[in-house]
Amino acid sequence: MPVLVKDLEIVPDPWRLIESADDSDGSTGDGCIFPFDYWASAPRPGQACNAGFWVDGGVDVERLRDHLEGASLVAVKFPAFADGRGLSLGVLLRSRLGFGGELRAFGDILPDLAQYLHRSGFDAFLVEDRRAAEVAITSVASITDHYQASVLQPQPAFRRIHTGS
Amino acid sequence: MYQYQDFDQRFIEERVEQYREQTERYLNGELTEEQFLQLRLRNGLYIQRLAPMLRVAIPYGTLSSRQLRALAEISRRYDKGYGHLSTRQNMQFNWPELASVPDILADLAKVQMHAIQTSGSCIRNVTTDQFAGVADDERVDARPYCEIIRQWSTQHPEFDWLPRKFKIALNGAESDRAAIHVHDIGIRVDRDATGDVVFDFLVGGGLGRTPVIGSVIRRGLPEPHLLTYLEAILRVYNRHGRRDNKYKARIKILVRAMTPEVFAERVDEEWAHLKDGPSTLTTAELNRMQGCFSPPPYPDLKDRTTELAEQRLKAPAFNNWVQNNVSRHKVAGYAIATLSTKHTGVPPGDVTDAQMDAVADWADAYGFGEIRIGHEQNFVLPDVAQEKLYELWKRATEMALAAPNVGLLTDIVCCPGGDYCSLANAKSIPIAEAIQRRYDDYDYLHDLGPIDLNISGCMNACGHHHVGHIGILGVDKKGAEFYQVSIGGHAGNDASLGRIIGPSFARDDVPEVVERILDVYVDRRIDTEPFLSCFRRIGMQPFKDRVYASAG
Just give the CATH number of B142-291.
Answer: 3.30.413.10
Q: How close, in Å, is residue B206 to chain A by CA atoms?
A: 22
Average pLDDT over residues A75-95: 97
Average pLDDT over residues B511-522: 96
What per-residue confidence (pLDDT) applies to A26? 58
Q: How far is CA B454 from the centre of its chain?
A: 13
Would you say residue B9 has pLDDT above 80?
yes
User: pLDDT tens digits, residue range B20-34?
Assistant: 999 999 999 999 999
Residue A25: band (very low, low, confident or very high) from pLDDT cuts 50, 70, 90: low
Instruction: Reduce the DSSP state of residue B419 to 3 states and report it.
Output: helix
Domain ranges of chain B: 6-110, 142-291, 305-367+385-398, 413-548
A63 touching chain B per CB within 8 A: no
Q: What is the average pLDDT value for chain A, to the nearest integer?
A: 91
| Contact at CB, A120 and B159, closer than 8 angstroms | no
Which among A158, A163, A159, A144 is positioned nearest to B10, based on CA atoms?
A144
Which among B495, B483, B491, B496 is positioned nearest to B547, based on CA atoms?
B483
Closest partner CB to A112 (pick from B39, B157, B239): B39
Average pLDDT over residues B360-372: 97
Count of other CB atoms within 10 angstroms of residue B58: 24
Whether B483 contacts B510, CB under 8 Å:
yes
Would you say residue A130 has pLDDT above 60?
yes
Q: How close, in Å, is residue B358 to chain A by CA atoms?
A: 35
B60 CB-side CA count, 13 A: 25
B96 by Cβ neighbours in 10 Å (0-12 / 13-18 / 19+) ranks as buried
Domain ranges of chain A: 3-160
What per-residue confidence (pLDDT) applies to A27? 62
Just give the CATH number of B413-548.
Answer: 3.30.413.10
Write down the ipTM of this complex.
0.96
Q: Which residue of B has its CA nearest to A58?
A: B239
A100 touching chain B per CB within 8 A: no
Instruction: Reduce the DSSP state of residue A116 to 3 states and report it.
Output: helix
| Contact at CB, A159 and B158, closer than 8 angstroms | no
- With a threshold of 0.80, does the pTM exceed it? yes
User: pLDDT tens digits, residue range A54-69?
Assistant: 999 999 999 999 999 9
Residue B421: band (very low, low, confident or very high) from pLDDT cuts 50, 70, 90: confident
A151 touching chain B per CB within 8 A: yes
Average pLDDT over residues B97-111: 97
User: pLDDT tens digits, residue range B190-222?
Assistant: 999 999 999 999 999 999 888 999 999 999 999
**Is domain B6-110 annotated with CATH 3.90.480.20?**
yes
| Contact at CB, B239 and A85, closer than 8 angstroms | yes
Q: What is the average pLDDT value for chain B, to the nearest integer?
A: 95
Residue A24: band (very low, low, confident or very high) from pLDDT cuts 50, 70, 90: low
| Contact at CB, B158 and A135, closer than 8 angstroms | no
- From chain B, the residues in CB contact with A163 under 8 A are 284
| Contact at CB, B35 and A81, closer than 8 angstroms | yes
Q: Give the class (CATH, top level) of A3-160.
A: alpha beta
Q: Going by DSSP bridges, is the β-strand pair B470-477/B453-456 parallel, antiparallel, or unpaired?
A: parallel
| Contact at CB, A162 and B279, closer than 8 angstroms | no
Distance CA A25, CA A21 (A): 8
| Contact at CB, A147 and B283, closer than 8 angstroms | no
What per-residue confidence (pLDDT) applies to B313? 95
Average pLDDT over residues B420-426: 87
A128 touching chain B per CB within 8 A: no
Which among B170, B158, B295, B155 is positioned nearest to B223, based on CA atoms?
B170
A77 touching chain B per CB within 8 A: no
What per-residue confidence (pLDDT) applies to B419? 86
Average pLDDT over residues B385-405: 97
What per-residue confidence (pLDDT) applies to A165? 47
Domains B142-291 and B413-548 share a fold: yes
A83 touching chain B per CB within 8 A: yes
Would you say residue B104 has pLDDT above 50?
yes
Buried b (16+ CB within 10 A) or exposed e, B294-319: eeeeeeeeeebeeebeebbeeeeebb
Average pLDDT over residues A15-22: 87
Q: How does DSSP classify residue B128? A: E
| Contact at CB, B284 and A162, closer than 8 angstroms | yes
Within the 25-44 window of chain A, which residues sit less than 8 Å (CB to CB) from chain B?
A: none
A87 touching chain B per CB within 8 A: yes
